[in-house]
Amino acid sequence: MSNIVETPLGRFRRVGDKTVEFPDRWLFECPGCGQWAYLDIDQWRGQVSVDHATDGCAGGYHETHDYFAALADACNAPPVGLEDE
């Protein structure tokens, strides 16, 4: 699997850290400005918004979604072009 996963909500990048209990972690690319950042568990589950606008995001990104579900769906989807096989 690529380290970059595209979803309807934006792009996620897998980063590894062998020093932590869960070595695979994901960064979310802000659709408003392109900055990569970690989400906290409440943001991942859509319980609170990802408010990047207050951090000076040029695109004013401030949305609430179930990012975990979007990433899981994208990771479990068949590769592009193989959907009908």
**pLDDT given for residue 84 in this prediction:** 47
Task: Determine the Cα–Cα distance for residues 55 and 71; give it in Å rounded to an integer.
Answer: 24
CA angle 75, 81, 82 (to 5 degrees): 70
Do residues 37 and 30 lie in contact, with contact meaning Cβ atoms separated by under 8 Å?
yes
85 in a domain, yes or no?
A: no
**Domain interval for residue 44:** 4-76
**pLDDT given for residue 85 in this prediction:** 44
For the chain, the domain total comes to 1
Distance of CA 58 to the CA centre of its chain: 19
First-to-last CA distance in the chain? 19
14 in a domain, yes or no?
A: yes
82 in a domain, yes or no?
A: no
**pLDDT given for residue 64 in this prediction:** 93
66 in a domain, yes or no?
A: yes
Task: Determine the Cα–Cα distance for residues 17 and 38; give it in Å rounded to an integer.
Answer: 13
Q: Give the pLDDT means over successive 10-residue stretches in the chain (85 positions).
A: 84 78 78 91 92 87 92 77 47
